[in-house]
Amino acid sequence: MKNVDRVNWRSIFSISSILYSVLGVLSAMIALEGFMLPNHFIDGGITGISIVSEALFGIPFTLFLIIYNIPFLFLGYKKIGKTFAVRALLSIVLLTLLMYFVEIPAFTNDKVLIAVFGGFLIGLGIGLVIRAGGVLDGLEIIAFYTTRNSSFSTGEIILAFNAVIFLSSAFVFSIETAMYSFLVYFTAMKTSDYVVDGFEEFTALNIISKECEQVKSLMVNDFGKAITVYKGERGYLPSSFDVKCDCDIVMTIVSRLEIHRLKEAIVKIDPEAFFYVQRIKEVKGGVGKHTTKDSFNEQPFLSDYSKSDVKAGK
């Protein structure tokens, strides 16, 4: 990735960036001091390594958090961008200072509550800092870099690192603590995903139907959706490979709350319509429209009305 020549200080100190970063750091601090550290529960990544190191060497957790993140921040500086590296550094330093000067007593000794609420709060903190454009854990950076230089996905790389961390915690603390720590990690991962991707997850709904004109009218006029139409070919079945015909592939961006009712409406037009759904990480640009035609009061985001030639078979 091409490096940015200068640090975008205006972006770093924008109101939204500061708000997300501060709230994220506060959430992570409460999770660590109020739930995880007093009970030796760990999260994955650099945070988990730092907690294990504190138990082994008796050196404060915050010192390890800074030391272990330095090489990853340098890698982010070189490979991702200067603005990103500065944001991440400021978030990690702020977390370290708050944990050093602010003391929070343990909220509970119940292991299930610690795993659930500790995981939720640290996941919330990680997600908010990512939304601000930084990170609280350098492992995300190494996973990004390694993905570009190996055949493994980011998720596989992070899972492999964390598996080693959880095995280490089983030897340093106990097997029971390691198992509860995995619950912390799972809760944190799911929470951060919701925070980063949004609670209203968008998907691309693709429809191939012999009644494509009626489907287009339904999507646009009845449901207030904009659509993208791909020109393709349907057919190529194993029993009749030579039989094919031109078709329109209708695609629109919907929320997960809309998928079922859209499918039901389309099936009434064409019971043999073919659907496939793709998860969308982010939707930006194009035509956005507020709709009040349903009880969900959704705000669907739509792509423009571009057409491109592709081939697709039913």
Verify that 173 and 215 share a domain, yes or no: no
pLDDT of residue 44: 79
19, part of any domain: yes
Of 277, 133, 121, 256, the closest CA to residue 196 belongs to 133
Count Cβ atoms below 10 Å from residue 13 Cβ, excluding itself. 11
User: Block means of pLDDT (10 residues each) for the chain, length 314 residues?
Assistant: 64 89 94 88 84 86 88 83 87 90 88 91 90 82 61 65 82 85 86 73 84 89 87 82 85 79 88 84 56 36 34 36
pLDDT of residue 310: 33
Verify that 93 and 207 share a domain, yes or no: no
Verify that 78 and 224 share a domain, yes or no: no
Verify that 178 and 283 share a domain, yes or no: no
User: Looking at residue 3, what DSSP letter applies?
Assistant: P
1, part of any domain: no
| Contact between 119 and 183 (Cβ < 8 Å) | yes
Q: How many domains does the chain have?
A: 2
Verify that 113 and 207 share a domain, yes or no: no
155, part of any domain: yes
What the block records as the tokens of 247 is: 């078709």
The amino acid at residue 50 is S
274, part of any domain: yes
- The CATH number of whichever domain residue 226 belongs to comes to 3.30.70.120
Verify that 54 and 192 share a domain, yes or no: yes
Count Cβ atoms below 10 Å from residue 133 Cβ, excluding itself. 21
Verify that 74 and 177 share a domain, yes or no: yes
Domain boundary pick from 167, 197, 227? 197
Verify that 96 and 144 share a domain, yes or no: yes
Return contacts of 190-193, CB within 8 angstroms, 24+ apart.
Answer: 190/123, 191/119, 191/120, 191/123, 191/124, 191/127, 192/123, 192/124, 192/126, 192/127, 192/130, 193/127
| Contact between 146 and 153 (Cβ < 8 Å) | no
23, part of any domain: yes
> Which distant-in-sequence residues (6+ apart) come within 8 Å of 92 by Cβ?
65, 66, 69, 73, 136
Domain boundary pick from 178, 197, 216? 197
pLDDT of residue 197: 67
290, part of any domain: yes
> Domain range holding 255?
202-309
314, part of any domain: no
Verify that 236 and 134 share a domain, yes or no: no
Verify that 136 and 81 share a domain, yes or no: yes
172, part of any domain: yes
Domain boundary pick from 197, 221, 250? 197
pLDDT of residue 289: 43
pLDDT of residue 148: 57
- Residue recorded with tokens 């007593």: 105
Global pTM value: 0.68
Q: What whole-number distance in Å separates Cα of residue 119 and Cα of residue 176?
A: 16
Verify that 42 and 68 share a domain, yes or no: yes
Verify that 163 and 283 share a domain, yes or no: no
pLDDT of residue 194: 80
Q: What whole-number distance in Å separates Cα of residue 123 and Cα of residue 28?
A: 8
